[in-house]
Chain A
């Protein structure tokens, strides 16, 4: 089954404690991205990757890092989380340059206290 898998689904952490949210896809997609969803602000892109070792900033990259060492994985790293990063996070993947459907993960609800 084609899918994007995020882990963990829920996470409560404290300010400053580094964390990683993993994302993996099994569709051999070149393009992967991270979004955050906040009430009243909708979904906003954080970072994206067009292929292995190719990443770029989206609209709200501050406070986040990503890496793309393998095609299937695209982890989101919060080096020093702060309460304003409390949000619902989604990873997505798609074939590059085709404008076809994007597949989204189930989401990770992060709370930073």
Chain B
């Protein structure tokens, strides 16, 4: 599985935007970029995913660099409930179609949101 690099921790203030970076310089053409988060004492939760184009959903936006070697998860207005560990994960489309749905979690970025 291709590797991702994220900062260990980031801090934000409530109601401000948060940009969480992820580097994936060895990404292949068939890798999707997925983001999950894990709130304290809970299981991981899907946030968003994309392949080449920027993506938006009710939770966040995903901005993907033109060369796809990095991406940024954007929380438009952080709330205290957004304090979590955020994981950037690459998923190979060919591996998925071959049957393996395994998610490979790295260490992620621990986001602290200050009131």
Could you tell me which A residues sit within 8 Å of B by CB distance? Answer: 4, 31, 33, 42-43, 45, 48, 50, 58-59, 90, 92, 94, 96-107
CB <8 Å contact, B99 and A50: yes
Taking a contact as CB atoms under 8 Å apart, the answer to whether A99 and B43 are in contact is no
Nearest Cβ in chain B — how far from A105, in angstroms? 5
Measured in the bound complex, the distance between the Cα atoms of B99 and A109 in whole Å is 29
Looking at B18-26, B61-69, B73-81, B102-110, the stretch in contact with chain A turns out to be B102-110
Query: Does A90 lie within 8 Å of B46, measured CB to CB?
Result: no
CA distance A43 to B42 in the complex (A): 13
15 residue pairs A–B, Cβ–Cβ below 8 Å? A33-B101, A42-B105, A42-B107, A43-B103, A90-B43, A90-B44, A92-B43, A92-B44, A96-B99, A97-B97, A99-B91, A99-B101, A101-B46, A102-B44, A104-B45
Seed contacts A45-B102, A97-B97; 9 additional CB < 8 Å A-B pairs:
A33-B101, A45-B103, A94-B101, A99-B91, A102-B36, A102-B103, A104-B43, A104-B45, A106-B42
Contact A101 B49 (CB under 8 A): yes
Q: Across the interface, which residues of A come within 8 angstroms of B99, CB to CB?
A: 50, 96-97
Contact of B101 among A59, A96, A104, A107 (CB under 8 A): A96
Task: Determine whether the beta carbon of B43 is less than 8 Å from that of A107.
Answer: yes
Quick one: given A33-B101, A50-B99, A97-B97, are A42 and B46 in contact (CB under 8 Å)?
Answer: no
Contact flags (1/0) for B9-51 with A, using CB distance below 8 Å? 0000000000000000000000010001000011111100100
Chain B interface residues (CB < 8 Å from chain A): 32, 36, 41-46, 49, 91, 93, 96-97, 99-103, 105-107
For B105, what are the chain A residues with a Cβ–Cβ distance below 8 Å?
42-43
Shortest CB-to-CB span from A87 to chain B, Å, is 14
| Chain B neighbourhood of A99, CB < 8 A | 32, 49, 91, 93, 96, 101
**B42 contacts A107, C-beta separation under 8 Å:** yes
**In the bound complex, CA of A107 to CA of B105 (Å):** 16
Which residues of B are found within 8 Å of A105, using beta-carbon distances? Answer: 43
Q: Which of B44, B46, B93, B102 contacts A58 (CB 8 A)?
A: B102
User: Residue on B with the closest CB to A109?
Assistant: B41
